[in-house]
Amino acid sequence: MKKKYILLALVIYIIFPLSGVLMKYAAMNENMLYKLLLFAGSIAVLGIFSVLWQILLKNVDLVKAYIFKATSIIWTVIYGIILFNEKITIQMIIGIAIVMFGTIVATIGQNTEKVEQENR
């Protein structure tokens, strides 16, 4: 995979958790106008994510692009620590490890199936 597509994949998964951040700010806000604006911002972030994801998929195989999915949970935790003063717990670390392990196993399984099909 080319470096520019690796960078695009990382940017995509740095952007994606921002939608959740905006939603959390909306939930914490009392003013209905701000709630709606934050909600709209969250939808806009998801729209940007979707467009960038389609651009990535036009140039990179889904299996390779999906490897970076596990990084979104790490960014979610980082945003929580920085923006909401959340504390890292052992449960969070275990959860991150499980998600990353599952993503890697699923990706390796997809690569194995693809190689087997190409060898037939």
Residue 94 is predicted with a pLDDT of 94
The pLDDT assigned to 26 comes to 95
Query: Measured between alpha carbons, how far is residue 116 from residues 51, 64, 107, 111 in Å?
Result: 32, 17, 14, 9
Instruction: Quote the pLDDT of residue 70.
Output: 77
Distance CA 118, CA 106 (A): 18
Angle at 12 between CA 69 and CA 62, to 5 degrees: 50
Point out the residues of the chain with pLDDT beneath 70.
Answer: 110-120
CA 37 to chain CA centroid, nearest Å:
22
